[in-house]
Structure 1
Amino acid sequence: MVEFAMHHAWLVPLLPALAFLAIVFLTRPWPMLSALVAVAGIVGSFIVSALAAYGVFTNPAFKEEPLVYAVRWFSMPGLQIDVGVQLDPVSAMMIFMVSMVASLIFIYAIGYMKGDPGFSVFFSYVSLFAASMLLLAISSNLLEMFVAWELVGLCSYLLIGFYSHKISAREAAKKAFITCRVADFGLLLGLLSLQIVFGTLNLVELSEKIAHFEQYTTFGVLSLIAVLVFIGPIGKSGQFPLHVWLPDAMEGPTPVSALIHAATMVVAGVYLVARTMFLFHEVPNAMELVAITGGFTALFAATIAVTQREIKRILAYSTVSQIGYMMLALGVGSMTASLFHMWTHAFFKALMFLGAGSVLHALHHKADVWEMGGLIKKMPVTGWTFVIGGLAIAGIPPFAGFWSKDEILAVTLESGHYVLFVMAAFTAFLTAFYMWRLIFLTFFGDENPENHPHESPPVMTLPLIGLAILSTVGGLVGTPWAPYWGEWIFFGHPHHVEPNYWVMIGSIVLAAAGIYLAYQLYCADKTKARAKELAERYKHIYTILYNKYYIDEIYLWFNHTIIDGAAKLFYLFDIYVVDGVIVNGLGALTCLFGEGLRVTNTGRLQNYALVFFLGVLAVVVLLAFTGPSAASLIVGGVK
């Protein structure tokens, strides 16, 4: 079975794709049957992924040589494109993680979407979403990956705007789609440049050729290509300044938020950078760009999350921040630390998004955490699993987030990026603070008498329990004393960061300080007076953070003033210059010449005879007054 799964890994994206087709063309009138088809497709994908991953991680040969099999997709003189599968530790980990988390989210969605008129449509969309992401993960060339990349973008548009009767959902879907298309234009230019310069988009062939890029191009051109390729992940993974779409993506159903923010769309950018590390490794400046973008985004988004009030919006900015951590690790040269954090983040972030969905389901979609409180008494499973997720993301041992976050801090410090290390450490403190601010306001403290919560059904709580277990033990594969992860997930050669106990102790202290501060402001103080006093005392800072540094407003101003203004100028130029002066002017000039020629070109023989007679008469008169010499000159000129 293991051998079969490894050589038929193409079934991993195919099964949910078939589920999508079956729902669209066969089972759509029967909602529960559609849900079962979708769950069967993703669970089947998970089984194949698990077997294939087992085969990869038990065979040392895959550390050096991936399993690649492909068929010819497109061929013409000078260009051949194959579509196929590349199975190695990185792709095996990715399809295993995505299919596992997606399976739990699909099961959860059966309870969350119950009674929704678009129930079958929703499961068809998420099946296509999962198929696209899994295809992206196992693609053997960048063009095939780009097709899957765009399919993921299409599915995100459909799912974010799923509640199309809401204006906010429609606008959020358009915002996500347009923002990501801006970034994807840069990525497409980068891929076209790679094809032109190196003659291939096959990952294995590219890695070999770029290692000797001097034979094909200059360092400057390669640097430009690396920057263009990185623009795509900036948009897809919600990095500054193209992060603005991601918080608005909360307009979609909560299972969609969990899919987008935990295991699929936003980590696609990180995965693409990791997959093309052979390119970025040759361009140190591009690596610095990745590290600085990630480190800045991590801190930037964390400061915004501190002031937000909507439960899913806080989690959204947390995702932007955590993806920044992953980019930071890639930028300082550690694929191991980056993908390790991707692995653990998928568990605890999916857990918290599904927990938030359980809360919204119980409170009839009341999203303001300040209007909640005391929910852990009525929703113990949701509450305590959410607490586990909060401990994991805060970095409290032995939960999963502690191991991966600390490895990122350690590799950043070891690489000599001291400013980025300080930024990442402060981000860890803010993460613990804002996440436990959410937990204390939502689950602890006094109950809101206007709320009448109830625990979610088992179909929703069982996936929460499963993700809570993974959030607890999922990080043990990457501990310093069990370096199983680092032996397999790496770029170049395995690199084990020596355990830095000072970093470990410091990060625990920062996390504990963040949790303690949140407790003092939002739990111990029943009236929240101190928190309100701080917000009032630093009103200007609070307002800036609450309004997200006014980045959205800046973009709106730019669109309405610069782009719309330029469009108006072009419109006026077209109407009054191109259409008015040039086109109409040429037409008027043509009419003028035509009117003049009409006088001499009447079509009447007697008029032409008169003109001929007058011409002869003029010659005779000229001869009479000037003599034969002038006449001969005229005759010669006519000849």
Structure 2
Amino acid sequence: METISILILAIPLLMFLLLGLTGMKMSHRTAGVLGCLGMGTVLVLSYYTALSYFFSGCPQFVDEAGQRLQVVLWNSTWMQFTETLVIKLGFLLDPISALMLIVIPTISFMVHLYSMGYMRDHHGVYEHGFQRFYAFLSLFSFSMLGLVVATNIFQMYIFWELVGASSYLLIGFYYTKPSAVSASKKAFIVTRFADLGFLIGILVLSYFTGIFDFMSLTSAPVEGMDGVYHVSEQTALGIRSIFENSAVPVFMGASVLTWALVLIFMGGMGKSAMLPLHIWLPDAMEGPTPVSALIHAATMVVAGVYLVARLFPLYLMETAALDFIVVVGALTALYAAMVACTQVDIKRVLAFSTISQIAFMMVSLGVARPEVHHGVGYMAGMFHLFTHAMFKALLFLCAGALIHAIGSNDYTAMHGLRKYMPVTHVTFLIGCLAIAGIIPFAGFFSKDEILTACFGNSIVWYVWMSFVAGLTAFYMFRLYYLIFWWKEHKVADAHHTPHDQPWTMTLPLVILAVVSCVAGFVPFGTLVTWNGEPMFAYDGVFTNFQHLDWSVASISLLVAIVAIAIATAMYKKENPLPAEMRQAMPRLWNWAYHRFYWDELYMWVTHRVIFDKICRPIAWFDRHIIDGTMDGFARVTQWASVAIRPLQSGHVQMYVWYYLIGALLLGAVTWVCLL
């Protein structure tokens, strides 16, 4: 298993180096096939590792009571500064990392295969930089896998930054396109600000605890079992005693641990595009659509959720930090859902949908408490991470098929495509039903577990998130009807008739659609928990059905059906209702359409406040005071050099006179001193 874990990380890294260094010397098809084979191998190895962990019952993975252990497969020292300050690189296997070993390779392999068709035009000509594209995909996969199996928070931070670099390269793949270059820089800069908070949080946490590795932060080793860990309260109590020590400072009424956890969550806010650090994600749609499916639907944007889940025992010590996560997540979910109701670019609708759904996961983790349904919010958040990855990747890849067929992201260039693209139509509909939470599709189970957790925590959050869930169903079916119904499609001049794409693009759609239909039946409550104990007793494949809170599920299902019915009435056939609704609420519609002017606010703060009020005075001080002082020294030096230049005339007679005058003056001074 140790060898397999090394290969899981080594293969995508080697593929990146191979394709990056020699890709231009091989054919496009060869580069694509190598990329797919490499990720396919990682997929098989990851599945073997994860399924062995969940279902094998191997003593290495479970204790005598049948609880799954946290296993460090390998852990080697990379840098050692002191006896306690040691940075290691390793491979941690536990329920949530095993879950990510299923999610990341699955989506990545589907994107690799899909890109074989997407990155070619209708004449079979590959896009320029095709080999470079596959190299960047491999680098991203390596970075994300390294992040989720990290054994310590510093290793996570290293791969966290590698993920950011990979995202920058993939978003800016079309580097000759100014909007893509701008979007890549925007994503990189915004997430770097967030990661600064993450780094400060790491330093604060490690300064007071002297600990980097997750096992020491959240658990303690089992005696007699080398490298195997299980959850223990001893280390947690030890950390609590450190932070409750009177010598530990308190800032603005909050403990140092609270501030450390909030700062660490700031990194998650940037990666997962939470308010107010969300502005990069919609613009990131400038990258190729497979990139959107890989990075911005299933993997990179859930890194923030994974971060909170990884440190969840620490967050349970400071519920103030969890309350902060709930507020940020709830506001983000509502904001993104409202904006998605007004967008015309199909990829941006899905981008804001992603922001809203990631916020659902954050809220679920934030409301999770051991006393509320045994911490069901933790399980529900990770469950939704799993199901959302599948159907959101499906929706993005369907969007790519539509864009490839039509040549535009704007839904106004589509309409009535169900007759021309039946496979894309059916798979897109399955994705919409899943994200809307319609039974028995995957999103129904995970979404309703989140609402159950919200209901157990606070009726306010339950009502709030139920309303957001209704908006989700509305805007997704608005998009569905505007693309596939509304009115008959008119083929544009000099453009081919739309049709379903080649098998390399269609097969991933079918696979992800099937997974979106059946993923909800996975007995998730017995697999991924916050404390190592099953949420529910496992009674067979229909565990999720048997343990649903039907009082919550029936209401949310009714809300989704009503929202879909409204969308059907408004958008199935061309009618004046959308225009009338827009005219009834023009100000709200304009604000939502313009994303509530967050980009304009950032530009105003940047230009009018930072540049004009801060940078301009600093620049004036630099030019007139700093540079002026240096220029003054230069002018004095120049004047003095001009003044003494005659002393170096080159005339021997003048040098004799200078010598004679100097000697006489020296003699006079000596004579005066002797008197």
Letter in 1 for 2:112: F
Deviations 1:418-451 (A, max 9, x none): 2222211110110000000000000113223134
Letter in 2 for 1:319: T
Letter in 1 for 2:485: F
Residues 362, 597 of structure 1: alpha-carbon distance in 2 compared, 3 angstrom cutoff: closer
| Residues 553-572 of structure 1 mapped to structure 2, 5 A cutoff | 553-565=600-612, 566-572=614-620
Aligned position for 1:514: 563
2:337–2:353: 8 Å Cα contact kept in structure 1?
Answer: yes
Q: Distance in 2 between matches of 1:603 and 1:241?
A: 75
4+ runs deviating over 4 angstroms: 584-598, 602-617
2:67–2:532: 8 Å Cα contact kept in structure 1?
Answer: no
Aligned position for 2:149: 138
Q: In structure 2, the residue corresponding to 1:169 is in which secondary structure?
A: helix
Residues 71, 605 of structure 1: alpha-carbon distance in 2 compared, 3 angstrom cutoff: same
1:201 aligns with 2:212: yes
Residue 541 of structure 1, aligned match among 588, 610, 630 = 588
Deviations 1:83-134 (A, max 9, x none): 1100111111111111112111211111101221221111111111111111
Residues 610, 96 of structure 1: alpha-carbon distance in 2 compared, 3 angstrom cutoff: closer
Extract unaligned runs of 5+ from structure 1. Answer: 478-483, 618-634
- Greater alpha carbon shift after TM alignment, 553-562 vs 26-35: 26-35
Q: In structure 2, the residue corresponding to 1:72 is in which secondary structure?
A: strand
Deviations 1:221-269 (A, max 9, x none): 1111111101100000011100000011111111000001222110111
Aligned position for 1:23: 19
Q: Distance in 2 between matches of 1:210 and 1:569?
A: 49
Deviations 1:328-371 (A, max 9, x none): 0111122211100000001100000000000001002x111123
1:91–1:138: 8 Å Cα contact kept in structure 2?
Answer: yes
1:490 aligns with 2:529: yes
Aligned position for 1:319: 354
Q: Distance in 2 between matches of 1:150 and 1:9?
A: 21
1:386 aligns with 2:392: no
1:296–1:423: 8 Å Cα contact kept in structure 2?
Answer: no
1:371 aligns with 2:413: yes
2:437–2:560: 8 Å Cα contact kept in structure 1?
Answer: yes
Residue 184 of structure 1, aligned match among 195, 198, 204 = 195
Per the TM alignment, residue 607 of structure 1 is displaced from its structure 2 partner at its CA by 6.3
Per the TM alignment, residue 176 of structure 1 is displaced from its structure 2 partner at its CA by 0.4
1:66 aligns with 2:70: yes
Per the TM alignment, residue 26 of structure 1 is displaced from its structure 2 partner at its CA by 3.4
Per the TM alignment, residue 486 of structure 1 is displaced from its structure 2 partner at its CA by 1.7
Q: Distance in 2 between matches of 1:226 and 1:163?
A: 37
Q: Distance in 1 between matches of 2:563 and 2:489?
A: 25
Q: Distance in 1 between matches of 2:205 and 2:181?
A: 36
| Count of residues in Structure 1 that have an aligned counterpart in Structure 2 | 605
Q: Distance in 1 between matches of 2:553 and 2:237?
A: 36
1:459 aligns with 2:504: yes
- Greater alpha carbon shift after TM alignment, 564-573 vs 216-225: 216-225
Letter in 2 for 1:486: G
Per the TM alignment, residue 596 of structure 1 is displaced from its structure 2 partner at its CA by 12
Q: Distance in 2 between matches of 1:563 and 1:445?
A: 47
Per the TM alignment, residue 291 of structure 1 is displaced from its structure 2 partner at its CA by 1.1
Q: In structure 1, the residue corresponding to 2:317 is in which secondary structure?
A: coil
Deviations 1:38-75 (A, max 9, x none): 11111111111111112111233384531102112112
Aligned position for 2:131: 120
Question: Structure 2-normalised TM-score?
Answer: 0.85
Deviations 1:500-559 (A, max 9, x none): 2221111111111111111111114x2x31101211221111110000000001101111
1:577 aligns with 2:625: yes
2:527–2:534: 8 Å Cα contact kept in structure 1?
Answer: no
Aligned position for 1:42: 39
Residues 411, 603 of structure 1: alpha-carbon distance in 2 compared, 3 angstrom cutoff: farther
Percent identity reads 39
1:274–1:330: 8 Å Cα contact kept in structure 2?
Answer: yes
1:361 aligns with 2:361: no
Q: Distance in 2 between matches of 1:379 and 1:88?
A: 42
Deviations 1:295-352 (A, max 9, x none): 1111110000000000000000000000000000111122211100000001100000
| Residues 331-480 of structure 1 mapped to structure 2, 5 A cutoff | 331-333=366-368, 334-364=377-407, 366-416=408-458, 418-451=459-492, 452-477=497-522
Aligned position for 2:168: 157
1:63–1:89: 8 Å Cα contact kept in structure 2?
Answer: no
- Greater alpha carbon shift after TM alignment, 556-565 vs 214-223: 214-223
Q: In structure 2, the residue corresponding to 1:354 is in which secondary structure?
A: helix
Q: In structure 2, the residue corresponding to 1:216 is in which secondary structure?
A: helix
Aligned position for 1:481: none
Letter in 2 for 1:456: Q
Residue 110 of structure 1, aligned match among 111, 116, 129 = 116
Q: Distance in 2 between matches of 1:415 and 1:306?
A: 28
1:372–1:447: 8 Å Cα contact kept in structure 2?
Answer: no
Letter in 2 for 1:491: W
Aligned position for 1:81: 87
Letter in 1 for 2:620: L
1:372–1:442: 8 Å Cα contact kept in structure 2?
Answer: yes
Q: Distance in 1 between matches of 2:431 and 2:262?
A: 35
- Greater alpha carbon shift after TM alignment, 216-225 vs 463-472: 216-225
Question: Structure 1-normalised TM-score?
Answer: 0.89
Q: Distance in 2 between matches of 1:323 and 1:604?
A: 87
Q: In structure 1, the residue corresponding to 2:344 is in which secondary structure?
A: coil
Q: Distance in 2 between matches of 1:298 and 1:250?
A: 19
Aligned position for 2:572: 523
Deviations 1:367-413 (A, max 9, x none): 11123111011100000100000000000000000000000000011
Q: Distance in 2 between matches of 1:31 and 1:309?
A: 34
Per the TM alignment, residue 584 of structure 1 is displaced from its structure 2 partner at its CA by 4.4
Residues 228, 612 of structure 1: alpha-carbon distance in 2 compared, 3 angstrom cutoff: same
Aligned position for 1:624: none
Per the TM alignment, residue 214 of structure 1 is displaced from its structure 2 partner at its CA by 4.1
Extract unaligned runs of 5+ from structure 2. Answer: 121-125, 220-234, 369-376, 537-546, 646-656
Per the TM alignment, residue 588 of structure 1 is displaced from its structure 2 partner at its CA by 6.6
Residue 260 of structure 2, aligned match among 205, 218, 225 = 225
Per the TM alignment, residue 10 of structure 1 is displaced from its structure 2 partner at its CA by 2.3
Q: Distance in 2 between matches of 1:608 and 1:26?
A: 78
Per the TM alignment, residue 212 of structure 1 is displaced from its structure 2 partner at its CA by 1.9
Per the TM alignment, residue 82 of structure 1 is displaced from its structure 2 partner at its CA by 1.5
Per the TM alignment, residue 172 of structure 1 is displaced from its structure 2 partner at its CA by 0.4
Residue 177 of structure 2, aligned match among 141, 144, 166 = 166
Q: In structure 1, the residue corresponding to 2:430 is in which secondary structure?
A: helix
Letter in 2 for 1:509: L
Aligned position for 2:105: 99
Q: Distance in 1 between matches of 2:635 and 2:429?
A: 78
2:337–2:356: 8 Å Cα contact kept in structure 1?
Answer: yes
Aligned position for 1:630: none
1:130–1:264: 8 Å Cα contact kept in structure 2?
Answer: no
Residues 345, 24 of structure 1: alpha-carbon distance in 2 compared, 3 angstrom cutoff: same
Letter in 1 for 2:388: H
Letter in 2 for 1:21: L
- From the CA coordinates, give the structure whose radius of gyration is larger: 1
Per the TM alignment, residue 609 of structure 1 is displaced from its structure 2 partner at its CA by 5.1
1:63–1:88: 8 Å Cα contact kept in structure 2?
Answer: no
Residue 212 of structure 1, aligned match among 220, 238, 241 = 238
